[in-house]
Amino acid sequence: MDFDAKFGNCPIYYTISKIEGKWKWVILYKLYKCKVMRYNRLWDDLQPIAHRTLSKQLKELEADGLVHREQYNEVPPKVEYSLTKDGETLTPILDMMSQWGERHINPRPEVSND
């Protein structure tokens, strides 16, 4: 039995398939905290991400309905990104991930009772 046949209806597998990758969670978190971001600001904040990688991740998040892309017909072109309603439903998870990271990023050394 292949993986999709076995886990295709699993909610965890579905969720991970939509937001897998090194950068998607960070992109979602930045948009959550800033509400609306222009591409170049997002790229600056996420260094050392490559332009190609950021563009690809944003397109995938947009295709999955988690990120909204708003393009303004100006010169130079202005493009802004924000979370969609579905994207906003991930904010409790983003908060929990951030809190977990804050508690564990600099763990205190264990005290020996010797």
**The one-letter amino acid at 40:** N
pLDDT beyond 70 at 5 = yes
pLDDT beyond 90 at 21 = no
What domains appear along the chain, each with residue ranges and CATH number?
Answer: 3-95 (1.10.10.10)
Output the CA torsion sign for 67, 72, 77, 80: negative
DSSP letters along 36-77, please?
EEEHHHHHHHTTT--HHHHHHHHHHHHHTTSEEEEEE--SS-
Helix (H) or strand (E) holding 17: helix 11-19
Average pLDDT, the chain: 90
pLDDT beyond 70 at 74 = yes
Distance, in Å, from the CA atom of 114 to the CA atom of 95, rounded to the nearest integer, reads 38
Summarize the confidence of residues 29-49 as an average pLDDT: 96
